[in-house]
Amino acid sequence: MSEIVKFVNHGAATITPALAEKVLHQLPQWKLEFTQIHAPKFPHLVDQLEFLADAVEDATEGAYKDLPFVAVAQAVFALVYAHKKIGVVLDSGLELGGADNSSIVRAVLIQNEKAFAIYAGTQGVDWRKITSQA
């Protein structure tokens, strides 16, 4: 298991339904914030973060009940990590800015690929676009 996957799984283990509920109330602001991310080497990152935010919203509000909590917890962890703007690789000015966010988001998407692909289908979202396979 890669170090990023271990990091995501460890962080997601600390996410409770109550914390997911708290994050839910921050998501509208965070979505706006995510649109300002400048990471040209990771062009799908903003779409992926928005997708995870939508999935967390729908699952936490009860609008979509088929997403396993582990997927929700990992998505919440990735969103919190991206929001904090302090990561393994600083986002300011470096060519690698966004690399850690992208790696964490990709680990979440890959580990929960089946569940997120089904969710994407129910929402009319092209899963290939989210996974950058389009």
pLDDT in tens, 17-38: 999 999 999 999 999 999 988 8
pLDDT at 13 over 80: yes
Residue pLDDT, tens place only, 60-106: 999 999 999 999 999 999 999 999 855 444 444 444 457 889 999 99
CA dist 76 and 85 (Å) reads 15
First to last CA, the chain: 27
Residue 1 CA to residue 77 CA, distance in Å, equals 18
Distance CA 104, CA 110 (A): 10
